[in-house]
Amino acid sequence: MDYFDISMDLSEEDMSMRQVARDFAEEVVRPISRELDVMSPEDVIAEGSPLWTFLRKSYELGYHTILLPEAYGGQGLTPLQIAVIFEEIAWASGGLATLLGASCFPFFIACMTADKRLVEEFVIPFCNCSDGSIRGCWAITEPDHGSDYISSEPFTRDPAIRNNMQATRDGDEWVLNGQKSGWVSGGTIATHALLFCQADQSLGLAGGGICICPLEVEGVSRGKPVRKIGCRDLNQGEIYFDEVRIPDYYMFCDPDFYPEMLDMVLAAANASLGLGTAGMARAAFEEALTYARQRVQGGVPLIEHRSVRQRLFEMFSKVEMCRAFSRAVINLNFNISPPIPEYSLAAKTMCSQLCFEVTSEAMQLLGGYGLTEDGFVEKLFRDARSALIGDGCNEVLQAHGGQMLAEFYPRRQDDLL
């Protein structure tokens, strides 16, 4: 279903990109996502799975590099173009949109470091990859530390609390030992990780380090892919590190810069997830609208009932709020450096909540049919539920955002670079 675009500044080029993305979403991504949704997590990543077709075709279209600058071989898109493409892919599948975003993430962050060695070794080959064979992931969550990673409360400076993932310096190398949790998106199939670890034990969890770690090396092993309620097309699983050695320049962030870098990474991830919610919510709204025009109750189509129109209008309003706010935030935070994290956190938490409400209401509007696997809404509902937890539990992100308000508000317009 076509939709009116609230962004009046879309150029001809933007609209043609949107059309290409929409065709791809409709013809390739959604059918593949629905196939993967009913497969076991092991089959999703098995040889011959349609997952690999999705990745290959996405890479052929250059969608793995939508966040990356043209100078390194990326698409060099404007924030609005990124938003439009991401919305279309998430309309087809929140899980596969997340996989694509995660795949790009280590390389996107490597660009932000502007370290020539990282760019040449990792970013350029990734941008040149057109068959899906180079895939990133963001490995932050650990078995014993999920929300802890987002917190800056006093316990994070307690040296008695240790991360599961340890990094120790040895000459001009770092030695990595430990594990990441089963929640890492793309964890069992990624070739590279943006890896969060503890680089200074004396500082507790605040002694964090961030590195790029190739995963197809000795000492890295993977767990089983996780089985879950939603985003079943999104591979997730544990990664283990046993005496893995990396050169010191792969560790591009040490504890001195760690809090700032963590907020920059969160700002990018949360802003991107906000965009995805507009696609998922729109998909649910469209299903509800179509059904309300077809289903007859009380002798007339549902949409003829005043209360149903009111419910549809509320859903429509929420879709547009997801779209407008997440686009405004990506436009802000992808145009300034450093970003203002609380805006990204607000986009992720509010838009994922609205998206969940829209998918839930769509299910209600479809009545019993909404619960069946013949329809698409129950999948959207399950996928949207995950977004309240992925990239940080909403309530924890809100507490973190609230701390930023307490420290920095009001911010000054002149402080922007």
Ligand X SMILES: Cc1cc2nc3c(=O)[nH]c(=O)nc-3n(C[C@H](O)[C@H](O)[C@H](O)COP(=O)(O)OP(=O)(O)OC[C@H]3O[C@@H](n4cnc5c(N)ncnc54)[C@H](O)[C@@H]3O)c2cc1C
Quick check: 395 binds ligand X (CB under 6 A)?
A: yes
Identify the residue whose tokens are 């309620």. 229
Restricted to residues 101-120, the positions that interact with ligand X (CB under 6 A) are: 102
CA distance linking residue 211 with residue 250, whole number of Å: 5
Among 165, 184, 206, 283, binds ligand X (CB under 6 A): 184
Among 61, 112, 393, 404, binds ligand X (CB under 6 A): 393
Quick check: 386 binds ligand X (CB under 6 A)?
A: yes
Residue span binding ligand X (CB under 6 A) among the ranges 13-21, 260-268, 319-327, 385-393: 385-393
Nearest to 322 by CA among 290, 292, 285, 294: 285
CA torsion 269→80→15→286, rounded to 10°? Answer: 50
**Both structure tokens of 210:** 């961030």
Restricted to residues 323-362, the positions that interact with ligand X (CB under 6 A) are: none
Least CB distance from residue 154 to ligand X, whole Å?
A: 11
Q: How many residues bind ligand X (CB under 6 A)?
A: 22
Nearer to ligand X, 204 or 392 (CB): 392
The conformational region for residue 73 under phi > 0 = left, psi -120 to 50 = alpha, else beta, is left
Q: Is 409 exposed, middle or buried (0-12, 13-18, 19+ CB in 10 A)?
A: exposed
Restricted to residues 127-146, the positions that interact with ligand X (CB under 6 A) are: 137-141, 146
Quick check: 392 binds ligand X (CB under 6 A)?
A: yes
Residues 6+ apart with CB under 8 A from 327: 7, 79, 80, 83, 275, 278
Nearer to ligand X, 232 or 311 (CB): 232
Going from the C-alpha of 340 to that of each of 80, 108, 335, the distances in angstroms are 18, 18, 11
Least CB distance from residue 372 to ligand X, whole Å?
A: 23
Nearer to ligand X, 119 or 384 (CB): 384
Quick check: 158 binds ligand X (CB under 6 A)?
A: no
Binding mask 210-229 for ligand X (x = CB under 6 A): --------------------
Does residue 235 contact residue 44 with C-beta atoms inside 8 Å? Answer: yes
Quick check: 97 binds ligand X (CB under 6 A)?
A: no
Least CB distance from residue 138 to ligand X, whole Å?
A: 4
Among 312, 396, 400, 401, binds ligand X (CB under 6 A): 396
Quick check: 90 binds ligand X (CB under 6 A)?
A: no
Quick check: 185 binds ligand X (CB under 6 A)?
A: yes
Please give the sequence-ordered ranges of beta strands (E in DSSP) within 199-314, or none if there are none: 208-214, 220-225, 237-247, 251-253, 296-297, 300-301
Quick check: 377 binds ligand X (CB under 6 A)?
A: no
Nearer to ligand X, 147 or 364 (CB): 147
Identify the residue whose tokens are 């329809």. 375
Q: Is 124 exposed, middle or buried (0-12, 13-18, 19+ CB in 10 A)?
A: middle
Does residue 70 contact residue 6 with C-beta atoms inside 8 Å? Answer: no
Contacts to ligand X by CB under 6 A: 98, 102, 137-141, 146-147, 151, 183-185, 231, 386, 389-393, 395-396
